[in-house]
């Protein structure tokens, strides 16, 4: 069996690179590591997962067979503030609740319509 570091990055077509980067930076404090006129690559703090935003109108926001992309929070106190940033950052809240007491979740859409799950689980 081949060993890997796990799922390390994903690439998404977006309509507006800067608008999409602003959304992810506002919610998760991502750090830009590389950019060109048609691409912005950033990583998440902590795990350092990489997301590539690629300029591409034709398939922007289409999930194909992918249901959602998950962001698990480290601290439950971050849940309400991050959900409160969704709409000001250009996204939409789709659903919000608790899986169990003390385990909140929210499904949100980014500016292109990609569905994200934000949740806390101890």
Position 116 scores a pLDDT of: 95
Query: What are the phi and psi torsion angles at 45 (to 5°)?
Result: -65, 155
Instruction: Compute CA 29 distance to the chain's CA centroid, rounded to the nearest angstrom.
Output: 11
State the pLDDT at residue 65: 72
Low-confidence residues of the chain, pLDDT below 70? none
Kindly report, residue by residue over 48-71, the tens digit of the pLDDT. 899 999 998 777 777 777 889 999
Q: What are the structural domains of the chain?
A: 9-56+67-119 (3.10.180.10)
Q: Residue-wise over 49-83: b if at least 16 C-beta within 10 A, else e? A: bbbebbbbeeebbeeeeeeeeebebeeeeebeebb
């Amino acid at each position: 069996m081949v060993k890997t570091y796990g799922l390390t990055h994903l690439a998404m077509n977006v309509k507006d690179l800067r608008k999409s980067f602003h959304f992810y930076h506002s919610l998760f404090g991502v750090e830009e590591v590389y950019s060109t006129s048609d691409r912005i690559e950033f990583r998440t703090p902590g795990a350092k997962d990489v997301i590539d935003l690629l300029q591409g109108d034709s398939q922007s926001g289409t999930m194909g067979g992918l249901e959602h992309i998950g962001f698990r929070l480290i601290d439950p106190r971050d849940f309400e503030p991050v959900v409160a940033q969704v709409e000001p950052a250009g996204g939409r809240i789709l659903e919000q609740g608790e899986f169990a007491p003390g385990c909140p979740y929210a499904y949100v859409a980014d500016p292109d319509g990609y569905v994200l799950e934000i949740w806390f689980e101890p």
